[in-house]
A and B are shown apart, each in its own frame.
Chain A
Amino acid sequence: MSADIVGEVIFNTIVSACVYALVAVGISIVFGLTGLVNFAQGAMMMFGAYVAYAVTSHGGWSFSIVIIVATLAVVLLSVALTPAFLKTISRPVNGFIISLGLIAILENGITRVAGADPVTIQPAFTRNWTLGGVTISQQDVLTIAIAVAVFCALAFVLKRTRAGLALRASADDREMAGLLGVPIWKMVIATFVVGGALAGLGGAMVAGFTSLTPRLGGQYILTGFTVAIVGGLGNVWGAVVAAFVVAVVTTSMATAGLGQWVEVGTFGVMILILLFRPTGVFRGVEHAQL
């Protein structure tokens, strides 16, 4: 294998890891506080991608506005759904079933509006650089930059601000944090806002480098969920690290010509981890053992 192929694989790994991490952190952060697995995270990302598609095909707007609109749309969707999810907070399995219904609604709704055929966005950035034989597109660099910026911002908020401290305290022990004056419902809504924002961002970024179909969410959710499981549900940093592990596996399988079996491999890994180490390879939050 020549050096530029290796470089290409490494670069693709980083790009997919960033997207997986966005989905996984979105799942993880909601799970950490509510115990709810929002399986519709992938479908919400797909929704964000189609919003980005709709905005760009209207034309004339810059990429930054497209990203902001897509993110806001998914955040609004996520917040609108929060009351339904909160109804099931004592039985998170019910919340999971709601998210299954949501997948059906979003996938079929988008199929109805935009059709089932793949659509592509006119890329906003077309420049390519060649670095020692490896071709790097501006779009990919932007994806990585945004993801890194988002994770740094998230890290700062969670670790260094009072709101982040309150959020971590609520995730650790919801009732105790409530007794000590943390506004739990605001915290729950905040996690749904963050989850929705991550899905919207991920969607807008994915729209930049792949063709979109209504089943896009299904591809990302199971991989994203595998990442969240490997990283330990509720453990944001575990998810980021695990994203790289899973991305190495998927891109190397794809490079080796096993493209259609990638999902079988990933889900196999997920099932094995759920069976033998349900709190994840890195430790997740306490109630991860449902």
Chain B
Amino acid sequence: MGMSSGWFQEAREVPEMERSAPDSSRPGELLDVGDLGRALLDHPSPGRSLIFRRSAAGMVVIVGAVFPWYGFSQSDMDLAVYVCIYAIVGCALALLWRATGELSVAHGALWGIGAYAAAIAATRLGLPFLACGAIAVAFSGISAALLGYPALRVKGTYFMIVTFAFAEIVDILFANLTSVTQGAQGIDITKRASVFNWFSLAGAREWYLFSFMLLVLSVLVWRGFERSRMGRETVAVRESDQLARSIMIPATFRRVVAFAISGLICGASGALIAFYAGYIDPSQFAPSSSIMFVELVVIGSAATVIGPTVGAVLVVVVPTVLHLSAIDSNILFGAVLAVVIVVRPQGLASPVKLPDWGWMPAWLRPRLLRGGRSTSEP
């Protein structure tokens, strides 16, 4: 496997059966396409059964939606809003990382582009909240596509450096294009956010429900993209650019689309932070914020749906619980990032290896937890 593919590969175990004997009824057997064929044709994620995963996800969503009514203080809800906002960007980054195998250091900047687009639309044009959100999504998506087209031509470390340079450039633009962004002075957003004058985002609880809904939506977009034909074609491009081109997959276009979708999600989160915080300035979107999102996804894990959210919870909640200053928490998470990369590169919330039930007779194996196909079946 080339250097370009992500580490979540290690977490996603492919049963030996699939590796050695491709289903003969499928065109994949004509040539040994390896990972490419698996990406396009065989795609069940092995591990826990579908019922288990669906019900676990449903339970997480229900708990997330009802917990504000169980006696949490205003400041707890405030943290929860930030967890959602960060986790949305985390999902965007995880989508890109899994689909293209590249880890972007520009997502803080894309997030900032969304935030500035929303803030300027609200203060200069006086547009309502949802319209500002749409503009933010559009701006971030277009910027991501414009960055992705050149950046995705290089891989691995070079890709990260190009995106890092982009983050620096955007930071300089935010600080110096004072006629548009008001420079270091920042922008105050005093407009109250509401959804069609119907659901007013007045308190932290309403904000939480709205951002939690957006988080669930981003997770659905992320997984939906991966399950779609386009998503699987993108993974095929990741595994082998040339083989993918040979079966008429427009490789560059697929990668750019993945980057653009990732940017769209960032834009939504950017609009949220602009309206929720009520004030933005360039320092919030400096390259260090991009590094924070890398920390979030690497520490949390991109191997599972819940990974980026776990990362966001760690990044937001741990400094508050430990009463750390911003500086101390940056030191802490820089260190944790390095340790996680060395010790557990697939992230903390990545799947643990399930016990192999193969030694049991088939009728005794636990059905709910069993994977799609057992490795030891003949």
A271 touches B105 (CB 8 A): no
* Interface check B330, CB cutoff 8 A: yes
Interface string of B150-170 (1 = CB under 8 A from A): 110111111011101110110
Helix, strand, loop or mixed for chain B's interface?
A: helix
| Inter-subunit contact B334/A103 (CB<8 Å) | yes
B161 pairs with A37, CB closer than 8 A: yes
Selected from A101, A107, A275, the residue in CB contact (under 8 A) with B295 is A101
Stretch in contact with the other chain, from B85-93, B338-346, B369-377: B338-346
Give the residue name and chain of the B residue nearest to A96 (CB). Answer: B157
* A20 at the B interface (CB under 8 A): no
Bound-state CA distance A96–B151 (Å) is 17
Q: Is A241 an interface residue (CB 8 A)?
A: no
A274 to B288 Cα, complex, angstroms: 23
Q: State how many angstroms separate the Cβ of B104 from the closest Cβ of chain A.
A: 12
Q: Tell me the complex Cα distance, A107–B330, Å.
A: 9
Would you call A264 an interface residue if the criterion is a C-beta within 8 Å of the partner chain's C-beta atoms?
Answer: yes
CA distance A84 to B340 in the complex (A): 11
Residues of B with C-beta under 8 A to A107: 288, 330
Measured in the bound complex, the distance between the Cα atoms of B291 and A107 in whole Å is 13
Interface flags, A229-244, vs B, CB<8A=1, else 0: 0000000000000000
Q: Is B294 part of the contact surface with A, judged by Cβ < 8 Å?
A: yes
**What's the interface size class on A, roughly?**
35 or more
Are A104 and B156 in contact (CB-based, < 8 A)?
Answer: no
**Contact yes or no, B3 A274, CB < 8 A:** no
- The number of A-B residue pairs with CB atoms under 8 Å apart is 125
Measured between beta carbons, the chain A residues less than 8 angstroms from B287 are 218
**Are A271 and B150 interface neighbours, CB within 8 A?**
yes
The smallest beta-carbon distance between A146 and chain B, in angstroms, is 28
Chain B min CB distance to A35 (Å) = 8
Tell me if B210 counts as interface (CB < 8 A to partner A).
no
With A and B bound together, what is the CA distance between A102 and B169 in angstroms?
A: 22
Instruction: For chain A, residues 62 to 111, give those with C-beta under 8 angstroms from any C-beta of chain B.
Output: 84, 87-88, 91-94, 96-98, 100-105, 107-109, 111
B141-187 residues with Cβ-Cβ distance < 8 A to A are 150-151, 153-158, 160-162, 164-166, 168-169, 172-173, 176
Which residues of chain A come closer than 8 Å to B155, judged between CB atoms? 290
* B contact residues around A39 at 8 Å (CB): 161, 164
- Among the interface residues A84, A263, A274, which one has the most CB atoms of the partner chain B within 10 A? A274
Chain A residues positioned under 8 Å from B154 (CB to CB): 274-275, 278, 290
- Does A105 lie within 8 Å of B335, measured CB to CB? yes
> In the complex, what's the smallest C-beta–C-beta distance from B314 to chain A, in angstroms?
14
Q: Which residues of A contact B337 (CB under 8 A)?
A: 97-98, 100-101, 104
Q: In this assembly, does B7 line the interface, its C-beta being within 8 Å of a C-beta of chain A? A: yes
Give A131 Cβ to nearest chain B Cβ, in Å.
35
The yes or no answer to A167 lying at the interface (CB within 8 A) is no
Residue of chain B at shortest CB distance from A109: B331
Among B154, B166, B330, B335, the most chain A Cβ lie within 10 Å of the Cβ of B330
Query: Across the two chains, which residue of chain B brings its CB closest to A226?
Result: B165
**In the complex, A222 has a CB within 8 A of chain B:** yes
Contact of B273 with A by CB under 8 A: no
Q: Given A108-B334, A218-B287, A101–B341 Cβ distance below 8 Å?
A: yes
Residues of B within 8 Å of A105, CB to CB, are 330-331, 334-335, 338
**In the complex, which residue of chain A has the Cβ closest to the Cβ of B336?**
A101
Task: Assess whether B109 is interfacial by the CB under 8 Å rule.
Answer: no
- Which of chain B's residues have a CB closer than 8 A to the CB of A111? 327
Q: How far is the CB of B315 from chain A (nearest CB, A)?
A: 12
Q: With A and B bound together, what is the CA distance between A189 and B191 in angstroms? A: 57
Whether the pair A96, B160 counts as a contact (CB closer than 8 A) is: yes
Q: Are B165 and A271 in touch, CB under 8 angstroms?
A: yes
Query: What B residues does A100 contact at CB under 8 A?
Result: 105, 291, 294, 334, 337
Q: Which residues of B contact A88 (CB under 8 A)?
A: 341-342
Q: In angstroms, how far is the closest chain A Cβ from the Cβ of B326?
A: 8
Min distance, Cβ A32 to any Cβ of chain B, angstroms: 14
A102-B338 in contact given A108-B330, A278-B154 (Cβ < 8 Å)? yes
A225: interface (CB < 8 Å): yes
* Nearest residue, chain A, Cβ from B335: A105
- Asked whether A260 is an interface residue with its Cβ less than 8 Å from the other chain, the reply is yes
User: Whole-angstrom distance between the alpha carbons of A88 and B341 in the complex?
Assistant: 8
Contact A91 B150 (CB under 8 A): no
State whether A274 and B161 are in contact (beta carbons under 8 Å apart), knowing that A104-B291, A108-B327 are contacts in the complex: yes
Instruction: Report the Cα distance A37→B165, complex, angstroms.
Output: 15
Within 8 A of A (CB), among B281-305: 287-288, 291, 294-295, 298
Is A112 on the interface with B (CB-CB < 8 A)?
yes
Within 8 A of B (CB), among A95-147: 96-98, 100-105, 107-109, 111-112
Evaluate contact between B165 and A222: CB separation under 8 angstroms. yes
Taking CB atoms, residues of chain B closer than 8 Å to A225 are 161
Determine if B225 is an interface residue (Cβ-Cβ < 8 Å). Answer: no
Say if the beta carbon of B357 comes within 8 Å of chain A. Answer: no
Q: Is B331 a contact of A222 with CB atoms below 8 Å?
A: no
B205 to chain A, nearest CB (A): 33
Q: Is A246 an interface residue (CB 8 A)?
A: no
In the complex, which residue of chain B has the Cβ closest to the Cβ of A97?
A: B341
In the assembled complex, A270 has its CB within 8 A of some CB on chain B: yes
Q: List 11 A-B contacts (CB under 8 A).
A: A39-B161, A84-B342, A97-B160, A100-B291, A100-B294, A104-B291, A108-B331, A264-B173, A270-B165, A275-B153, A278-B154
Give 3 nearest A-B pairs by CB, closest first. Answer: A104-B334, A101-B337, A101-B338
